[in-house]
Amino acid sequence: MENQTFKAMVVRETDDKNFVREIVTRNMDELPPGEVLIKVSYSSLNYKDALSATGHRGVTRKYPHTPGIDVAGVVTESHSNLFKPGDEVIITGFDLGMNTSGGFAEYVRVPASWPVKLPKQLTLKESMIYGTAGVTAALSLLKLEQQGLSPNQGPVLVTGATGGVGSTAVVILVKAGYQVAAATGKAEAREYLLNLGATSVISRDETNDATEKPLLKDRWAGVIDAVGGNILATALKSTRYGGSVACCGLVASPELPTTVYPFILRGVNLLGIESSMCQPETRNRIWKNLSGPWKPDDLTTIASECSLEQLEAKIELILQGKLKGRVVVVINGG
Ligand SMILES: NC(=O)c1ccc[n+]([C@@H]2O[C@H](COP(=O)([O-])OP(=O)(O)OC[C@H]3O[C@@H](n4cnc5c(N)ncnc54)[C@H](OP(=O)(O)O)[C@@H]3O)[C@@H](O)[C@H]2O)c1
């Protein structure tokens, strides 16, 4: 295997400090050490991949680098008794695609603590329709329910609803029995969101309060927010007494211009969501829910596919907030 070559996207820094992406042939011995070698069937595109692919040092310190924080594939070599050749596995998060060579390639080599076995009720492709975005949406719902959220309490707001985290949040909430208010900046996406099962579609502006009011009408029983900034602050002001807001992203801004009033007058909870390092027990629970009670009848409604070669254009789109749903990257297929 060591002399074998494989195809991969490599991001490198040019002499004039720009970052370029190329599809190149790499050698197996360039992969990092690790107990499990995986032939990649599918990867997926997340916002973090686009940052890594464009030279964001907060995600990836060293270049040249192969991004791709998600992988679904088949074990070809294992030096761990946890896995054997032929096992179908998923990896989302850890250091994959950040400072460890990632899934935009035909092979990855990783520590045995990173992969999980593919649940029986999911195909490799379905697991990548979810990917990190799905794990994040599911972790958000898990934490909201741990704080007492249940379907009879009222509507749940999803911000950035056409995005990767947003679309998966909408479909799993709907499947779990919730009324979903989907907030989007894309006027033309109304039908898409209603087809996913959203109860109502509202404009991004409506979730971006421009007043100085410390509290607004209490509308939401819970919120899944992938956007941050003033939209997160508005969500806090609009959440019902004792409700919770799951904060998982920052596409609008990492700032949070809030007061303490939602917390001390309405007992609102702000829940931090970090999916890449979540504990094995939580990870297993997430995949159990995503492959069982929270799995929509047809996951492909939120998915599109592209090849490694077609990824460049998708990276540009996700950085502009223009992608809809999840992009599965077909590597070896299967
Ligand atoms: N905490 C974690 O563990 C974790 C895991 C995964 C992702 N994330 C974070 O979650 C965020 C979303 O990731 P993603 O992969 O879902 O990205 P994505 O597919 O690009 O989705 C983001 C969506 O947010 C909306 N949006 C984009 N720019 C905006 C702006 N300036 N103001 C308001 N809304 C905007 C757009 O939806 P509409 O057009 O429908 O409004 C966009 O489709 C990222 O910040 C990512 O880093 C965190």
**Each residue's pLDDT tens digit, 137-149:** 999 999 999 999 9
Task: Say which CATH topology domain 132-272 has.
Answer: Rossmann fold (3.40.50)
CA 314 – ligand 1 centroid, Å: 14
Domains 5-118+299-330 and 132-272 share a fold: no
Query: Residue 2 — very low, low, confident or very high, per pLDDT cuts 50/70/90?
Result: low
The predicted pLDDT at position 303 comes to 97
Q: What percent of the chain has pLDDT over 70?
A: 99
Q: Judge if the beta carbon of residue 251 lies within 6 A of ligand 1.
A: yes
Give the start-to-end residue ranges of the domains of the chain.
5-118+299-330, 132-272
The predicted pLDDT at position 163 comes to 96
124-137: average pLDDT: 98
The second-level CATH assignment, the architecture, of 5-118+299-330 is: Alpha-Beta Complex (3.90)
Number of helices and strands in the chain (H, E): 8, 15
The predicted pLDDT at position 334 comes to 80
Q: Judge if the beta carbon of residue 315 lies within 6 A of ligand 1.
A: no
The predicted pLDDT at position 307 comes to 97
The predicted pLDDT at position 1 comes to 67
Going by alpha carbons, the residue nearest to atom 44 of ligand 1 is: 249
14-40: average pLDDT: 96
Q: Judge if the beta carbon of residue 193 lies within 6 A of ligand 1.
A: no
Going by alpha carbons, the residue nearest to atom 8 of ligand 1 is: 249
User: pLDDT tens digits, residue range 293-303?
Assistant: 999 999 999 99
CA 92 – ligand 1 centroid, Å: 17
User: pLDDT tens digits, residue range 220-252?
Assistant: 999 999 999 999 999 999 999 999 999 999 999
Q: Could you tell me which of 148, 135, 177 has the C-alpha nearest to residue 289?
A: 135
Q: Judge if the beta carbon of residue 47 lies within 6 A of ligand 1.
A: yes
Q: Judge if the beta carbon of residue 185 lies within 6 A of ligand 1.
A: yes
User: pLDDT tens digits, residue range 168-226?
Assistant: 999 999 999 999 999 999 999 999 999 999 999 999 999 999 999 999 999 999 999 99
Q: Which atom of ligand 1 is nearest to the CA of 45?
A: 15
Helices (H), the chain: 47-53, 124-146, 164-175, 190-195, 229-237, 261-266, 280-291, 311-319
Query: Residue 263 — very low, low, confident or very high, per pLDDT cuts 50/70/90?
Result: very high
Q: What is the DSSP letter of 67?
A: -
pLDDT at 28 over 90: yes
pLDDT at 160 over 90: yes
Going by alpha carbons, the residue nearest to atom 30 of ligand 1 is: 252
259-278: average pLDDT: 97
**Residue 119 in contact with residue 126, Cβ under 8 Å?**
no
Determine the 3-state secondary structure of 120 from DSSP.
coil
Mean pLDDT over each residue of the chain, to the nearest integer? 97
The length of the chain is: 334
Q: Judge if the beta carbon of residue 166 lies within 6 A of ligand 1.
A: yes
Q: Judge if the beta carbon of residue 98 lies within 6 A of ligand 1.
A: no
